[in-house]
Amino acid sequence: TCSLLRSPKGFPKLKNDTFLRAARGEETEYTPVWCMRQAGRFLPEFHEIRGSQDFFTTCRSPKLCCELTLQPLRRFPLDAAIIFSDILVVPQALGMEVVMVSGKGPVFTEPLKEVEDLLKLRQKVDVTAELGYVFQAITLTRHSLEGKVPLIGFSGAPWTLMSYMIEGGGSTTMAKAKSWLYRHPEASHRLLRLLADVIIDYLVGQVAAGAQALQLFESHAGHLGPQLFQDFALPYIRDIAQAVKSKLKEEALPLVPMIIFAKDAHYALRDLAHAGYEVVGLDWTIRPQEARAQVGKDVTLQGNLDPCALYAPKEKIGELVKKMLESFGTQRYIANLGHGIYPDMNPEHVGAFVEAVHAHSRHINKH
């Protein structure tokens, strides 16, 4: 249960550190597994808790975030929990209004249209004042997990957040946001820098609150080509890893493993492998052996089962998992999907995925 009465620190001792060991490149007896969007819409109990309540109101309730984070762990033997939140809390902290529209997703009431609109954003953000509710949710959840598995914190990356702030929601082309990169490169860098600075403080705050690993989501990397990525995404991705680590050191906080997940950015895997992250997350559009060859031996890989594979019969899911583990190898590897779980997925099939990873990786390790 998620009661708010525990002391903020003095966290319970961690019982299963397999995920953290794999992230750091240490040997594990089996391959750890978690799923992006494991706390969420595919679980009936999620809808019971959320009811008809507004999505972002849920995000602002530490008790509800804690409960939603714990739900999948009651069903599946996952090796990590990820805090229930959303990447768009960062644009909100900058003063933008975002509403979740049923059947449509997030919508910004006033997206950025002109360069002058940057002046409407908060130029200095006090993350504790604006995003303290996420920190409270993390601390509460870390206690409520009772050391069962590590807790992952996360943020969207600057380019992905910028694209939402300009498009005003989802987009198939990102043409409005990309036109800024071509037409207003200086203003784009100003916005990306502002976002990066907030993200750095936000991620450090999450570790101070109890997060034991961090994932940066560059979900819209696929809309950029190699050049735009190199100019407008990679420098900030690198900078975030470096700055978070140096601030954690300064504040005598634990140096937690960091994961970069840049969806559809296989053109940048080599660069991402040297961007300062312990783990590189992969979508399903790259062959495991190819990814391994590009990132080398010093980085852990995470991913990359096609989420739609979970629609297959359970035996088939087992076969796909076995093949994936044989391709990646069971070490320096964290099993996951290549993107989040879809809302209409059968929870039993998610369970079959998790159990197949454990069973097959143990078997491969023994033989």
pLDDT by residue, tens only, the chain of 367 residues:
777 655 557 999 999 999 999 999 999 999 999 999 999 999 999 999 998 899 999 999 999 999 999 999 999 999 999 999 999 999 999 999 999 998 899 999 999 999 999 999 999 999 999 999 999 999 999 999 999 999 999 999 999 999 999 999 999 999 999 999 999 999 999 999 999 999 999 999 999 999 999 999 999 999 999 999 999 999 999 999 999 999 999 999 999 999 999 999 999 999 999 999 999 999 999 999 999 999 999 999 999 999 999 999 999 999 999 999 999 999 999 999 999 999 999 999 999 999 999 999 999 999 9
Nearest to 278 by CA among 303, 295, 258: 258
Beta pairing partners, 156: 217
CA separation for the pair 91, 78 (Å, rounded): 30
Q: Is residue 54 part of a domain?
A: yes
- Exactly one of 41, 75, 193, 238 is catalytic; name it: 41
Phi, psi of 84 (to 5 degrees): -75, 115
Q: Is 74 a catalytic residue?
A: no
Number of domains in the chain: 1
How far, in Å, CA of 261 to CA of 203, rounded? 15
Q: Map tokens 């078997």 to a residue.
A: 363
| CA nearest neighbour of 131 among 65, 236, 225, 60 | 60
What values do phi and psi take at 156, rounded to 5? -75, 155
Query: Which listed residue (21, 37, 60, 142) is catalytic?
Result: 37
Looking up residue 358, the CATH number of its domain turns out to be 3.20.20.210
So what's the pLDDT on residue 8? 56
Q: Is 362 a catalytic residue?
A: no
Q: Is 197 a catalytic residue?
A: no
Identify whether 124 is part of a domain. yes
Spatial distance between the Cα atoms of 136 and 8, rounded to a whole number of angstroms: 9
Question: What's the rounded Cα separation, in Å, for the pair 346 and 329?
Answer: 27
What does the pLDDT read at residue 121?
Answer: 98
User: Which residues are within 8 A (CB) of 103 and not within 5 positions of it... i.e. 6 or more apart?
Assistant: none
- Say how far apart CA 196 and CA 158 lie, in whole Å: 6
Q: Give the Cα separation of 300 and 24 in Å (integer).
A: 7
The C-alpha atoms of residue 245 and residue 251 are separated, in whole angstroms, by 10
Judge contact between 162 and 222, C-beta under 8 A: no
φ, ψ of residue 337 in degrees (nearest 5): -85, 165
**226 closest CA partner among 275, 281, 273, 267:** 267
Look at residue 7 and tell me if it is in a domain. no
- Name the catalytic one among 17, 21, 60, 164: 164
Q: Alpha helix locations (H) across 44-157?
A: 44-50, 55-59, 62-75, 89-93, 127-144
Question: Would you call 142 a catalytic residue per the annotation?
Answer: no
Catalytic option among 86, 117, 231, 306: 86
Residues paired with 260 in a beta bridge: 216, 280
Residue 342 bears catalytic tag? no
Contact at 8 Å (CB) between 233 and 276? no
Does residue 158 lie within any of the structural domains? Answer: yes
Distances (CA, A) of 291 to 56, 89, 106, 218: 36, 31, 32, 17
Catalytic residue among 21, 50, 60, 142: 50
Q: Would you mind telling me the total number of residues written for the chain in this entry?
A: 367
Whether residue 13 lies inside any domain: the answer is: no
Residue 2 resides in a domain: no
Q: Fill in the amino acid letter for 62.
A: P
Q: Which domain holds residue 307?
A: 19-366
For residue 361, being part of any structural domain is answered with yes
